[in-house]
Chains A and B, each alone.
Chain A
Amino acid sequence: MRLEEIVEAGLGAGAAVVIGDRSTVVNFRLANNTVTTNGREESTSAGVLAVEQGRVGVQTADVTEGAQVVAFVGDAKARAEQSPEAPDVMPLLTPEEAAQDDHEAAQVAPEALPGDLEPILESVRAILEESRQSGLRCFGYAQATASQQLLGTKTGVRLEGRRRGASLTLTLKTQDLKRSVWSGATARTLSALDPAAIYRKLSRRLAQTERAVELPPGHYQVILEPSAVADMVLRLMWEMHARGADEGRTVFAGKSGPRVGEEMYAPEVTLDSDPRDPEMRVPSFVHSLRSSEYGSVFDNGLAVPPAVWVEGGVQRELICPRRWAQDHDHPVRPDVDNLRMRGTETSLEEMIANTERALLVTSLWYIRDVDPATLLLTGLTRDGVFLVEHGEVVGAVNNFRFNESPVGVLRRTVEIGAPELALSREVGDDAFVKAPPIRVENFFMSSVSDAI
């Protein structure tokens, strides 16, 4: 069923907002030098929003025919009639007030097909063979995704957004599983990724684990690789909403209001977003069927301009939907589905070469909130902690549990390297992030983890 049919069927039945969504995914997994599972999924869904005198009802479902969409509108209207008035009521945007159509988005291929895997299959087959021949064990995952959204409102807004993503992650272990390294890469398509290059990097790294160094918990200078930085800045970003700051619920709450304008981080730290970044393109308009701190259903169609969240160490903006902004005297600031940490041209290798003594941390794992007031997080290092001494990696260090806040980490950042597309190990390619490696003083490793 075409998305245009979904949208027009829903609006024709009296919906205030309809979002048609089509998504496709292809993937495969690797373990112990062989492919294990694979899959292709395709879905078409409709989401309808009914508004009855400021009361809201929502219904979303996978669909195959227009009659289903019409029925969903009835369900959503019935739900709206049973609901109290929504606290974020605002007039729906007109086409003139809404985002303009992003013509470049239409150039993005709308489907991920099994053939999207083909560009990397031979290279992956060769990797598995090499791993076997070398007496190693290779594990991994590859996926390509495509999604397409069509937004329609009863006020005449029609906007289409498309998003493509791909990622490849590999873990390489010795046969006895006593040593392990990981790396991942993301791009808009798998054809833009180089599995052989990732494997070569892992082989080098695994060789560097031959010398084991046991270190105790404590405070260390660390160099966080881009994946670990991506995890930290995403966690920070998730807290950057005006409502939480106004209510005193997040680290962005100051004694006299939100900490906008406060120098919270090192002066070199800048975080921004741009939905039209060519490497991380995401829809540049609000499309949501659920109101929250991050957005309002009444803001559907609102343009998402580039944002500068942190500039020169100063917190500049917080996410704020229209109604909360109006009621609390804030600027309107829609959420953006990508994030960039600005950096320099210094490579990771140069940072290592300029190091007297530090831990090089490849990736982080199982990160959870501990204290919202400070945004204290706990988590672990995983698949690659190295001791750097006198400009060289000298051995592999045991894993650690850390207790750290991204705010503190970015305040104690003393060097920033060259940004790259980075794959958060916990979030995967659902999040588009560009992050550099960073050098952080006094990073707190709370205890040793025996995990390999």
Chain B
Amino acid sequence: MSEIEPGFLQLPLDQLADAALDTMAKTDGVSYGDIRVHRDRVQGIHVREHDLISLSESEPQGFGVRLVVDGSWGFAGSTDLTQSGVSRAVTAAAEMARLLRPLLQERVELAPEPAHSETWIGEVELNPFEVTADRKVDFMLAATDGCLQAGAKFAEFYCLQVQENRFFVSTEGSRITQQRARLHPVLEAGLVDEAGSGLIETMRSTARPVGRGWEYVEAHGFPAEAEEMVGWLREKLASPSVSPGPYDLVIDPSNLWLTLHESVAHGTELDRALGYEANYAGTTFATPDQVGSLRYGSPRMHVTGDRLEPHGLATVGFDDEGVAAQRWDIIKDGILVGYQLNRQMARKFNLPRSNGCAFSDSWAHLPLQRMPNVSLQPDPARDTSREDLLSQVEEGIFILGDKSWSIDQQRYNFQFTGQRFYRIHHGQLAGQLRDVAYQSRTPDFWGRLEALGGPSSWQLQGAFNCGKGEPSQVAPVSHGCPPALFRQVSVLNTRQEGKR
């Protein structure tokens, strides 16, 4: 995928941009404006057992115009990809700005950014939209069949594939064309305990959402994993239920990424810290007055933000207000040192430049300050393996894979479950446990971080569905982390929690 897809370039992009800039120039009071043209290709395939349940493709396409009139934002989006449609939308956006102006107390100001005229493409080997549907469906049905052959009661495989094209032009002179692709293969097998306990157990494969093409799916090793998953499920159903209490935890990157996402990545969004999400997604305990002093966790904690990581889900050339991609520190030596910013937040925070975290999930929505790839760096001094970490635990639990997750609106209290839990006994894995959830408070949890895996153990994980904003927007994001050892974290038994 080294060229922008012709279907996107066939849209009258320059004419639409000219219409936007021309109408903005003729509209009273416009001090800044931009237009984003989006065209996505989204294909979802869902197979269950031996059947194709759905195979659908959608192509949402349209544009959003954003402008500032007398210090007030105005935004309008439309699917009418004509010059007259753009002109009408600019007029509608200006109308929105003027309509809401009486409610405004704080004028919009943006941190500066140089103008960019560039094309950026996120490289993938095998564009999923160039692979025939029957090849993909047959591959997925073979995987569910593998689960059933191994004894699963049910087996499902979803695969969501997305290609995004964006064209951005601003009144400040930027003109940027971008393309990236991503996919998320999810194979899940389930067993019901036929002995009558009523227990239902499901398990997902270890495949991750990635900024890669179909080559990732075919190389993952689903045929072998399908059989393994059913074996793991059988073992889990027969395993002892955990006794609640404090445990030493070794957490695999396949689980820890989500804890990092919820408790650190969301907690260090500056728009949350300033109250912009107080009515919906929430705020954060990591307030701006504590930059440089807030102890987020153990001194081993080094967390970075970036929009550069190869194959990352938040990786771009430029963000949705034309700011070039960057990398920076968020937590260093366990101390809060930085935030995620867009141009408005950077200006409000008296910083010279945004670090490029503006994102909109659609032509229909105004870009918000959204999460970059936020990653926990590995132990820089030693290439510690997972086994090295396990060997440091006398009695504890090793957790793999994410499942249920929940955190409060200020990013303090959280509860996570997982796909698999193994008892650690004398530094060795000693069979699975079930009904495990860990619950903690963010600074306490990260304060209990005692050891990290080394560079070889670091993995990039992530999600397609990070939610925030009103109207609600979803964003794809990656998080890299090594396995890590945490001392004495509270573990619950979910069966006991549910009994009344």
Residues of A within 8 A of B93 (CB): 40
- 1/0 per residue, CB under 8 A from A, across B184-215: the answer is 00000010100010111010000000000000
Q: Does A258 contact B (CB under 8 A)?
A: no
A40 touches B77 (CB 8 A): yes
B471 touches A143 (CB 8 A): yes
Chain A residues 25 to 43 lying within 8 A of chain B, measured CB to CB, are 25-43
Chain A residues 217 to 263 lying within 8 A of chain B, measured CB to CB, are 219, 247-249, 253, 255
A140 to B277, CA, bound (A): 9
Residues of B within 8 A of A366 (CB): 406-409
A340 to B184, CA, bound (A): 36
- 1/0 per residue, CB under 8 A from B, across A373-399: the answer is 110101110110000000000000001
A interface SS class:
strand
Question: Can you sample 17 A-B contacts with CB below 8 Å?
Answer: A28-B103, A29-B276, A31-B275, A38-B97, A39-B365, A40-B75, A82-B134, A128-B103, A137-B278, A139-B278, A171-B278, A292-B54, A371-B495, A373-B199, A376-B497, A376-B498, A405-B498
B498 touches A374 (CB 8 A): yes
Chain B nearest CB from A197 CB (Å) reads: 18
A63 touches B79 (CB 8 A): yes
Interface band, chain A? 35 or more
A370 to B497, CA, bound (A): 10
- The answer to whether A367 and B406 touch (CB under 8 A), given A29-B279, A83-B137, is yes
- Spot the interface stretch: A98-106, A301-309, A351-359, A443-451: A443-451
- 1/0 per residue, CB under 8 A from A, across B204-228: the answer is 0000000000000000000000000
Residues of B within 8 A of A41 (CB): 64, 76-78, 364-365
Q: Does B125 contact A (CB under 8 A)?
A: no
A451 touches B133 (CB 8 A): no
A61 touches B92 (CB 8 A): no
Q: Does A212 contact B (CB under 8 A)?
A: no
A173 to B279, CA, bound (A): 10
User: Which A-B residue pairs are the 8 nearest by beta carbons?
Assistant: A451-B410, A34-B105, A58-B56, A61-B59, A449-B413, A451-B408, A62-B79, A376-B498
Chain B residue with the shortest CB-CB distance to A60: B58
B500 touches A412 (CB 8 A): yes
Chain A residues 419 to 452 lying within 8 A of chain B, measured CB to CB, are 428, 442, 444, 446-452
B415 touches A62 (CB 8 A): no
- The answer to whether A291 and B437 touch (CB under 8 A), given A35-B100, A39-B75, A448-B413, is no
Q: Does B73 contact A (CB under 8 A)?
A: yes
Chain B residues 388 to 411 lying within 8 A of chain A, measured CB to CB, are 404-411
Chain A residue with the shortest CB-CB distance to B138: A84
A382 touches B58 (CB 8 A): no
Residues of B within 8 A of A405 (CB): 498
Chain B nearest CB from A97 CB (Å) reads: 24
B492 touches A87 (CB 8 A): no
Chain B residue with the shortest CB-CB distance to A143: B471
A32 touches B500 (CB 8 A): no
A199 to B213, CA, bound (A): 50
Q: Does B304 contact A (CB under 8 A)?
A: no
Q: Does A121 contact B (CB under 8 A)?
A: yes
Q: Does A119 contact B (CB under 8 A)?
A: no
B103 touches A42 (CB 8 A): no
A370 touches B417 (CB 8 A): yes
Chain A residue with the shortest CB-CB distance to B81: A64
B103 touches A34 (CB 8 A): yes
Interface centre among A58, A290, A370 (most CB of B within 10 A): A370
Residues of A within 8 A of B494 (CB): 370-371, 376, 403
- 1/0 per residue, CB under 8 A from B, across A130-150: the answer is 001000010111010000000
- The answer to whether A59 and B100 touch (CB under 8 A), given A37-B366, A380-B408, A451-B413, is no
- 6 other A-B residue contacts (CB within 8 Å) besides A29-B470, A30-B103, A442-B500: A25-B471, A37-B366, A43-B77, A57-B55, A124-B103, A449-B410
Residues of A within 8 A of B103 (CB): 28, 30, 34-35, 121, 124-125, 128
Chain B residue with the shortest CB-CB distance to A249: B200
A84 to B199, CA, bound (A): 33
Residues of A within 8 A of B412 (CB): 449-451
Q: Does A289 contact B (CB under 8 A)?
A: yes
Q: Does B53 contact A (CB under 8 A)?
A: yes
- The answer to whether A58 and B54 touch (CB under 8 A), given A84-B137, A370-B498, A374-B498, is yes
Q: Does B472 contact A (CB under 8 A)?
A: yes
Residues of B within 8 A of A (CB): 44, 46, 51-62, 64, 72-82, 85, 92-93, 95-97, 99-100, 102-106, 132-134, 137, 141, 153-154, 190, 192, 196, 198-200, 202, 274-280, 282-283, 285, 364-366, 368, 404-413, 415, 417, 437, 439, 441, 470-472, 492, 494-495, 497-498, 500
A29 to B85, CA, bound (A): 25
Chain B residue with the shortest CB-CB distance to A409: B500
A61 touches B61 (CB 8 A): yes
A56 touches B55 (CB 8 A): yes
A249 to B364, CA, bound (A): 37
Q: Which of A75, A117, A370 contacts B404 (CB 8 A)?
A: A370
Chain A nearest CB from B109 CB (Å) reads: 13
- The answer to whether A373 and B200 touch (CB under 8 A), given A412-B500, A447-B439, is yes
Q: Does A328 contact B (CB under 8 A)?
A: no
Q: Does A79 contact B (CB under 8 A)?
A: yes
Residues of B within 8 A of A201 (CB): none
A380 to B365, CA, bound (A): 28
Q: Does A156 contact B (CB under 8 A)?
A: no
Chain A nearest CB from B139 CB (Å) reads: 13
Chain A residue with the shortest CB-CB distance to B410: A451
A334 to B48, CA, bound (A): 21
B62 touches A62 (CB 8 A): yes
A75 to B43, CA, bound (A): 12
A36 touches B406 (CB 8 A): no
Q: Does A368 contact B (CB under 8 A)?
A: yes
Q: Does A203 contact B (CB under 8 A)?
A: no
B51 touches A368 (CB 8 A): no
A45 touches B79 (CB 8 A): yes
A382 to B190, CA, bound (A): 34
A4 to B351, CA, bound (A): 52
Q: Does A86 contact B (CB under 8 A)?
A: yes
Residues of B within 8 A of A368 (CB): 404-406
Chain A residue with the shortest CB-CB distance to B199: A373
A139 touches B279 (CB 8 A): yes
B366 touches A39 (CB 8 A): yes
Residues of B within 8 A of A428 (CB): 472
A83 touches B52 (CB 8 A): yes
A28 to B93, CA, bound (A): 12
B56 touches A369 (CB 8 A): no
